[in-house]
């Protein structure tokens, strides 16, 4: 068992289950040290009389618990429907449907991953990727075989053809607020750039996107447009970057048909599986560190999680680390194996952006040549 996290004496299950707790400890001991989990999740194999916000109630099927499920959710608890074909989590007004194999000790694995600090929907993904006896087979038992991971159910259909590919080594990836910045940084020789223009009148927005795309053509840079996919298509951009919520509203088929690349943001395992369903050109992993450039839906992922994500997806799809990355921590980020990092303030707030870009580029060149 790790020295920093101990499970004995904790209320892991309702009703108390010594045998399950022993299995959790056995699995947890092989998952490494993680920061203390501040969320006191409790897995309820029998519904408690008074469910609370820390309870995850496991039921065999919704048909026999339909009315109760609604009441438990109102009381703040989460509900996991488990069956032969996978599991569905109801929590916080969201429904997470996963299709896959449930090992005999999946509940113990779920408790262990919750103890590692993962949110319930990500911990459930890992529990479905778990196989009985994994903790005995290798020194590092963390799931890293994508073929064993579950599939997210109920997603919109992906375009018939995968999105156009982009290089795995996208390298330094500045995310910039204006076309003027795009022109400036492209002139420094940066080959991957994103225009993230959040506020502008429609006509001005079109001009900004067209200027950015033109700068990319002039300097041989790959210019992605954040969010505004219609204008990106109209301007003939290299690609578009979208958030998770956008896959339900953007016309992905039109983006793919226009030949644009697609980058998708993710904030954990569940969203990575969702992104993979659409076969994007790259997946962004973040936010690695705390950032002030936008409001994030999740806590910072950190380097330990980034390392696990890269181990799972490296070679499957190009990966971009994003969120709070400065020049000081860039070498640590690249040490995880990721071959692209998106930066904002390290460029736009630098005293001399040209010098800053040259220094950042050297860090990439050194790592990619190792």
- Tens digit of pLDDT for each residue in 249-278? 999 999 999 999 999 999 999 999 999 999
- Give the whole-angstrom CA distance, residue 118 versus residue 277: 22
Please say whether the dihedral angle defined by the alpha carbons of residues 109, 110, 116 and 122, taken in this order, is positive or negative: positive
| Domain match, 268 and 312 both | yes
| Domain match, 51 and 84 both | yes
pLDDT at position 8 is 61
Q: Is residue 162 part of a domain?
A: no
Q: Residue 3 — very low, low, confident or very high, per pLDDT cuts 50/70/90?
A: very low
Q: Is residue 159 part of a domain?
A: no
| Domain match, 185 and 266 both | yes
| Mean pLDDT on 66-94 | 92
Q: Which of 79, 82, 50, 56 is nearest to 67 (CA)?
A: 79
Q: Is residue 1 part of a domain?
A: no
Report the SS3 class of residue 190: coil
| Domain match, 64 and 111 both | yes
Q: Is residue 338 part of a domain?
A: yes
| Domain match, 225 and 186 both | yes
Select, from the ranges 37-51, 199-213, 281-295, the one with the highest average predicted confidence (pLDDT). 199-213
Share of the chain above pLDDT 70, in %: 95
Statement: residue 11 has pLDDT above 70 = yes
| Mean pLDDT on 58-75 | 82
Statement: residue 4 has pLDDT above 70 = no
Where does a domain end: 103, 125, 152? Answer: 152
| Domain match, 215 and 138 both | no
Q: Residue 9 — very low, low, confident or very high, per pLDDT cuts 50/70/90?
A: low
Q: At what angle do helices 269-277 and 302-313 cross, to 10 degrees?
A: 30
| Mean pLDDT on 9-29 | 91
pLDDT at position 51 is 92
| Domain match, 307 and 265 both | yes
pLDDT at position 2 is 40
pLDDT at position 189 is 97
| Domain match, 55 and 103 both | yes
pLDDT at position 369 is 73
User: Could you tell me which residue, 60 or 95, shows the higher pLDDT?
Assistant: 95
Statement: residue 16 has pLDDT above 60 = yes
Average pLDDT, the chain: 93
Give the residue carrying structure tokens 């369903």. 277
Q: How many domains does the chain have?
A: 2
Q: Which of 231, 327, 243 is nearest to 283 (CA)?
A: 243
CATH code, domain with 182: 3.20.20.70
pLDDT at position 115 is 94
pLDDT at position 172 is 97
pLDDT at position 138 is 78
Alpha helices in the chain (DSSP H): 18-28, 66-74, 106-115, 120-129, 134-137, 179-187, 202-219, 229-235, 252-257, 269-277, 302-313, 330-334, 345-348, 353-369
| Domain match, 62 and 18 both | yes
| Mean pLDDT on 164-182 | 97
| Domain match, 145 and 239 both | no
Tell me: cis bond preceding 268? Omega within 30 of 0 counts.
Answer: no
pTM of the entire predicted model: 0.95
| Domain match, 210 and 322 both | yes
- Give the whole-angstrom CA distance, residue 125 versus residue 135: 17
- Domain of residue 275: give its range: 171-369
Q: Mind listing the pLDDT tens digit for each residue in 107-144?
A: 999 999 999 999 999 999 999 999 999 999 878 899 99
Q: Is residue 359 part of a domain?
A: yes
Where does a domain end: 152, 179, 200? Answer: 152
For residues 287, 312, 261, 184, the Cα torsion angle rounded to the nearest 10 degrees is: 40
**Terminus-to-terminus CA distance in the chain, angstroms?**
35
pLDDT at position 23 is 95
């Amino acid at each position: 068992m790790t020295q920093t996290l101990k499970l004995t004496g904790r209320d892991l299950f309702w009703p108390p289950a010594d045998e399950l707790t022993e299995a959790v400890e056995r699995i947890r001991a092989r998952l490494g040290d993680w920061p203390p989990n501040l969320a006191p999740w409790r897995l309820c194999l029998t519904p408690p009389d008074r469910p609370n916000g820390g309870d995850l109630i496991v039921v065999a099927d919704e048909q026999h618990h339909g009315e109760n499920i609604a009441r438990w959710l109102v009381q703040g608890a989460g509900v996991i429907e488990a069956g032969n074909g996978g599991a569905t989590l109801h929590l916080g007004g969201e429904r997470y449907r996963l299709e896959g194999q449930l090992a005999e000790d999946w509940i113990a694995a779920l408790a262990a991953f919750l103890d590692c600090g993962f949110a319930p929907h990500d911990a459930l993904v890992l529990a479905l990727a778990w196989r009985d006896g994994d903790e005995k087979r290798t020194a590092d038992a963390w799931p890293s075989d994508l073929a064993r991971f579950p599939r997210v159910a109920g997603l919109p259909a992906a375009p018939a053809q995968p999105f156009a590919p982009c290089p795995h080594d996208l390298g330094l990836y500045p995310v910039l607020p204006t076309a003027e910045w795009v022109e400036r940084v492209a002139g420094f020789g940066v080959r991957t750039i994103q225009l993230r223009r959040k506020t502008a009148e429609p006509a001005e927005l079109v001009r900004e996107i067209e200027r950015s795309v033109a700068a990319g053509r002039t300097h041989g840079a790959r210019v992605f447009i954040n969010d505004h996919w219609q204008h990106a298509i109209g301007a003939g951009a290299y690609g578009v970057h979208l958030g998770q919520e956008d896959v339900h509203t953007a016309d992905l088929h039109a983006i793919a048909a226009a030949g644009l690349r697609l980058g998708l943001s993710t904030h954990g395992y569940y969203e990575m599986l969702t992104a993979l369903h659409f076969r994007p050109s790259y997946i962004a992993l973040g936010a690695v560190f705390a950032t002030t450039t936008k409001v994030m839906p999740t806590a910072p992922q950190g380097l330990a999680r980034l390392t696990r994500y890269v181990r799972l997806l490296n070679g499957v799809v190009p990966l971009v680390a994003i969120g709070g990355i400065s020049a000081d921590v860039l070498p640590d980020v690249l040490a995880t194996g990721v071959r692209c990092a998106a930066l904002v303030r390290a460029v736009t707030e630098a005293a001399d952006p040209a010098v800053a870009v040259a220094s950042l580029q050297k860090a990439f060149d050194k790592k990619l040549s190792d």
